[in-house]
Structure 1
Amino acid sequence: MKLKRFLLRYYPPGIILEYDKGGYSRTKSIDLLDLTPGANPDELLAEIRQSEPLITESRAEQVKQLIIRLQQKQGQQDHHRFCFSKELKAHILPLTNVAFDKSGSRFITGSYDRTCRVWDTASGTELHTLEGHRNVVYAIAFNNPYGDKIATGSFDKTCKLWCAETGKCFHTFRGHRAEIVCLSFNPQSTLVATGSMDATAKLWDVETGEEVATLTGHTAEVLSLCFNTVGNQLVTGSFDHTVAIWDVASRQRVHTLIGHRGEISNVQFNWDCSLIVTGSMDKTCKLWEAVSGKCVATLVGHKEEVLDVCFDLSGHLIATASADGTARVFSATTHQCLLILEGHDGEISKICFSPQGTRVLTASSDKTARLWDVLSGACLQVLEGHTDEIFSCVFNYEGDTIITGVLKQSGSLLLWTRWSDWCRHRPVALLHGPAGAVAPFPTADQSGTC
C-alpha cells in the first residue's frame, strides 16, 4: 500500500487517507469524533500511528498539522445571526423538497410542477431545469460528497438520475408500482435507494441504470430510508410501525426492529454505524443497536407524535421534534433528556443540528424557525418572514446558510445567511412555493487537501 494524500473532513472531524492498493485507488477514514480544541496533538498523533501503519515517520508532521487545523476549526466562534440578501423566483407550483450540495454553493428544489431546478446559492441564479417527470417531483438528492449527480423521485413511480453540471438525464429507473417518496445515494455514489408507497424499497445501479434489488417485507408505505456511512447497510422505516435493516451486498433483511406502536416518521444511523434512531407517531423515539437489532433505549417525554429525529454529526446527541410544539435533546450514551426546547406556538415538523453540533434548528407550524444553543437550550434567534406553516429547515455544510420552506401553496422558501451580530433577522433569498423535507448532510470534506 502506498499513501497518496490526505483529505481533511471538518464535520465530524476526521482525516481521510487516499492510498493505492493493488493498482486501485482506495480511501480509509480516521474518525476523530472526540477531538477537542484542548487535546494534545502529539498524544493524539501517537495513538493514530499505533493503529494506522500508513502514517509513517515521514508523514507524522503532516498529520499533526492536520489535527491542529481541525482544532482551530473547532475553536471558531459560532455566534453569528442570519440576515437578508436577495429575493428569487422559483416554481410556479408548490415546492416539495430542498437539498444542498456538499459545499453549499448549489441547491435543488422539487415541485408539483413536475420539475427539479438547480440554483446557485450565492447569486440566486437558476442553473438548470430538470424536466421529464410526468407527476410531482417529491424526493431529491445530490450524490454528496461528490455533487456531480442528482436523483429525483416522483409520484409518476419513476426515479431519474441527472448530471448536476449539464442537466442531462442519464437514466430513468422504472419498477415501482406507486409513488416514490424517499431516496438516497450510498456514500460511494454507486447505488441509489428509493422508497415507495408500494411498501417496497429498491436499489439501482448508478452506472448502468439497472435495478439491483427489490427489498420486500414491509406491509405499508416506506416513507424513510438511510444508508450508513460505510454503505454496507440500509435502514427503512414504514407506516407498518416497523423498521428494517438490510445488508446491501446480499440484498437480504438482517433485522426487523419491532416495538413502535405507530407509524415511523424518520430513521437515521449515527456516524460510526453502531446505532439507529427512530421516531414514531406513538410519541416516542427508540435507539437500536445496528449489529444486533436490539432496542437499547426508548426516549420518552413528548405528549404528541414525534415528527422528526436526528443525530448530530458526532453521534453523541439526538434531537427530536414533536407535534406538542417542543423539541428535545437527548444523550445517545446515557439516554437522558438534556434539554427541552420550548417557545414555538405550533407543532415542530423538522429539526436538525448545525454541522458544528453547537446549534439546533427547528421549523414550526407557527410560521417561524428557531435557532437554539445546544449547551444552554436558549433560543438564540427567531427566523421570521414566512406567512404559512414552515415544513422544512436545513443547514449547508459550513453552517453559514439556512433554508426554510413552507407547506402551503401560498407560502415561500427562504434562505438565511450567517452575518454579523448586528444585522437584522431577514431572509437571504425568497422562492415562492412551499417546501418539504431535506436531504441528509454530506459525509466528507475535501477542501483541506494536502
Structure 2
Amino acid sequence: MRLKRFLLRYYPPGITLEYEQSSLLKTKTIDLLQLKVDSDPDAVVKDLAAQEPLITPAREEQVKKLVIKLQQKLKQVDEHRFYLFKVLRAHILPLTNVAFNKSGSRFITGSYDRTCKVWDTASGEELLTLEGHKNVVYAIAFNNPFGDKVVTGSFDKTCKLWNSETGRCIHTFKGHNAEIVCLSFNPQSSLAATGSMDTTARLWDVKTGVEACTLTGHSGEIISLSFNASGDQVITGSFDHTVSLWDVATGRLCHTLIGHQQEISNAVFNYDGSLIATGSMDKTCKLWDVNSGRCLTTFRGHQDEVLDVAFDMTGQLIVTASADGSGLVYNAGSQEIVSKFEGHSGEISKAVFNPQGTRVITASSDKTARLWDPYTGQCVQVLEGHTDEIFSCAFNYEGNTIITGSKDNTCRLWR
C-alpha cells in the first residue's frame, strides 16, 4: 500500500486517505468525531498513527497540520445572519419536499402538481422539470455525494430515477401497491430504498432498475426510512409503533425496536451508525443501541406529538420537534436535556442541525422558520415572509444557505 494524498472533511471532522493498492486507487476515512478545539494535536496524531499503518512517522507532521486546520474550522464562531435571497414560485400546487445536492449548488422540489423541479442555488433559476408521475410527487432525494441522479416517489405507487443533468427518466420502479411516502439512496448510490403505505419497503438496483428485495414485517404504513453511513443497514419507521432494522445485503430483519405507544414520526441513525433516535406520536423520543436493539433511554418533556427527530453531525446531540410548538435538544451521552426552543406559536414539523452543529432550524405551521442556538436554546433569527405553513427546511453543506418550503406554493432561499 502506498499513500498518495490526504483529503480533509470538515463536517463531521475527518481525514480521508487516498492510497494505491495492487495498482488500484482506494480511499479510507478516519472519523474524528471527538475532536475538540482544545484537543492536543500531537496526542491526536499519536493515536491516529497507532491505529493506521499508512500514517508513518514521516507523515505525522503533515497530519498534525490537517488536525490543526480542522480545529480552526471548529473554532469559527457562527454569527451568520440570513437574508432573503429569492422567492421561487416553484409549483402551481403546494410543495411536498425540498432537498439539496451535496455541494448545495442545486436543489430539488416535489409537489402536488405531479412534478419535481431542479433548481440552481446561486441564481434561483429553474433548470429542469421532471414530468411523468400520475399523482403527487411526495418524496424526493439526490444520490449524494454524487448528485448526478434524483429519485422521486409518488402517490401513483411508482418511484422514478432521473438523470439530474439532462432530466431523462432512467428507470421507473414498479411493485408497491400503495402510495410511496419516503425514500433514500444508499451512500454508494447503488441502491434506492422506498417505503410505502402498503406496509413494505423495497430496495431497487440503481443500475439495472430491478428490485433487489422486499422488506416485509410491518403491520402498518412505513413513513420513514434511512440508511446508516456505511450503507449496510437500513431502518424503517411505521404506524405500527415499531422501527425495524434490516441488513441490506440479505434483506434480513436484525432487530425490531419495540417500546413506543403510538405511531412513529421519524427514525434516524447517528453518524457512526451505533445509535438510532426515534420520534413518536406518544410525545417521546427514544434512543436505541444498534448492536443489541435495546432502548437506552426515553426522552420526555413534550406535551404533544414528537413530529421530527435529528442528530447533529457528530451524533452527540439530538433535537426533537413537537406539535406543542417547542423543540428540545438532548445530549446522547449524558441523556440530559441541553436546551429548549420556545417561541413558535404553532406546531414544529421539522428540525435540522446545520453541518457544524452550531445552529438548528425549525419549520412551523405559524408561517415562520427559526434559527436557534442548540446549547442555550436562544432564538437567534426568525425567517418571516411565507403566507402559509412551512413544512420543510434544509441547510446546504457549508451551512450558509437555507431553503424553506411552504404550503403557499413557494420556497424561499436564504443566505
Shorter-chain TM range is over 0.9
Q: Distance in 1 between matches of 2:382 and 2:280?
A: 27
CA deviations 1:207-242 (Å, max 9, x no partner) are: 111100000000111100110011111000000101
Contact (CA 8 Å) 1:227, 1:234: kept in 2 or not? yes
Instruction: Give the counterpart letter for 2:205 in structure 1.
Output: D
Q: Distance in 2 between matches of 1:190 and 1:25?
A: 20
Q: Relative contact order, CA 8 A, sep 6+: which one is greater? A: 1
CA deviations 1:258-281 (Å, max 9, x no partner) are: 110110000000011110000000
Q: Distance in 2 between matches of 1:375 and 1:252?
A: 39
Counterpart residue number, 2:410 = 412
Q: Distance in 1 between matches of 2:88 and 2:215?
A: 40
- Classify 1:263/1:146 alpha carbon distance in 2 versus 1 (closer, same or farther; 3 Å): same
Residues 75-114 of structure 1 mapped to structure 2, 5 A cutoff: 75-114=75-114
Counterpart residue number, 1:147 = 147
Instruction: Give the counterpart letter for 1:123 in structure 2.
Output: S
Shift of 1:38: 2.4
After alignment, is 86-95 or 283-292 more displaced? 86-95
Q: Distance in 1 between matches of 2:87 and 2:350?
A: 24
Contact (CA 8 Å) 2:220, 2:239: kept in 1 or not? yes
Counterpart residue number, 2:72 = 72
Whether 2:365 is the aligned partner of 1:350: answer: no
Contact (CA 8 Å) 1:200, 1:215: kept in 2 or not? yes
What is the aligned residue count?
Answer: 415
Extract unaligned runs of 5+ from structure 1: 418-450
- What secondary structure, in the 3-state scheme, does the structure 1 residue paired with 2:86 have? coil
Extract unaligned runs of 5+ from structure 2: none
TM-score (normalizing by structure 1): 0.90
Counterpart residue number, 1:304 = 304
Shift of 1:24: 4.1
After alignment, is 193-202 or 79-88 more displaced? 79-88
Counterpart residue number, 1:338 = 338
- What secondary structure, in the 3-state scheme, does the structure 2 residue paired with 1:223 have? strand
Counterpart residue number, 1:34 = 34
Instruction: Give the counterpart letter for 1:384 in structure 2.
Output: E
Instruction: Give the counterpart letter for 1:108 in structure 2.
Output: I
Contact (CA 8 Å) 1:310, 1:351: kept in 2 or not? yes
Whether 2:107 is the aligned partner of 1:121: answer: no
Whether 2:406 is the aligned partner of 1:403: answer: no
Whether 2:364 is the aligned partner of 1:368: answer: no
Counterpart residue number, 1:424 = none
Q: Distance in 2 between matches of 1:359 and 1:316?
A: 14
Note the aligned Cα RMSD (angstroms).
Answer: 1.3
Q: Distance in 1 between matches of 2:161 and 2:18?
A: 27
Instruction: Give the counterpart letter for 1:401 in structure 2.
Output: T
Residues 227-242 of structure 1 mapped to structure 2, 5 A cutoff: 227-242=227-242
Q: Distance in 2 between matches of 1:215 and 1:25?
A: 35
Contact (CA 8 Å) 2:277, 2:285: kept in 1 or not? yes
Shift of 1:360: 1.2
Contact (CA 8 Å) 1:386, 1:411: kept in 2 or not? no
Instruction: Give the counterpart letter for 1:282 in structure 2.
Output: D
Q: Distance in 1 between matches of 2:179 and 2:26?
A: 37
Q: Distance in 1 between matches of 2:235 and 2:131?
A: 30
Whether 2:187 is the aligned partner of 1:193: answer: no
Whether 2:165 is the aligned partner of 1:165: answer: yes
Give the fraction of aligned pairs with identical amino acids, expressed as a percent: 68
Shift of 1:7: 2.2
CA deviations 1:121-163 (Å, max 9, x no partner) are: 0101111111121211111111111111111111111111111
After alignment, is 171-180 or 19-28 more displaced? 19-28
Q: Distance in 2 between matches of 1:86 and 1:320?
A: 29
Instruction: Give the counterpart letter for 2:306 in structure 1.
Output: V
Shift of 1:63: 1.8
Q: Distance in 2 between matches of 1:129 and 1:315?
A: 36
After alignment, is 278-287 or 51-60 more displaced? 51-60
Counterpart residue number, 2:329 = 329
Q: Distance in 2 between matches of 1:255 and 1:95?
A: 35
Q: Distance in 1 between matches of 2:168 and 2:58?
A: 45
Q: Distance in 2 between matches of 1:137 and 1:24?
A: 41
Contact (CA 8 Å) 2:89, 2:410: kept in 1 or not? no
Residues 430-449 of structure 1 mapped to structure 2, 5 A cutoff: none
Q: Distance in 1 between matches of 2:134 and 2:20?
A: 45
Contact (CA 8 Å) 2:11, 2:313: kept in 1 or not? yes
CA deviations 1:165-220 (Å, max 9, x no partner) are: 22122111111111111111111111111101110000011111110000000011
Q: Distance in 1 between matches of 2:24 and 2:196?
A: 36
After alignment, is 59-68 or 206-215 more displaced? 59-68
- What secondary structure, in the 3-state scheme, does the structure 2 residue paired with 1:147 have? coil
Contact (CA 8 Å) 2:182, 2:224: kept in 1 or not? yes
Instruction: Give the counterpart letter for 2:298 in structure 1.
Output: T
Shift of 1:6: 2.2
Contact (CA 8 Å) 2:89, 2:411: kept in 1 or not? no
CA deviations 1:332-376 (Å, max 9, x no partner) are: 011111111111111111101111111111111111111111221
Counterpart residue number, 2:315 = 315
Contact (CA 8 Å) 2:18, 2:26: kept in 1 or not? yes
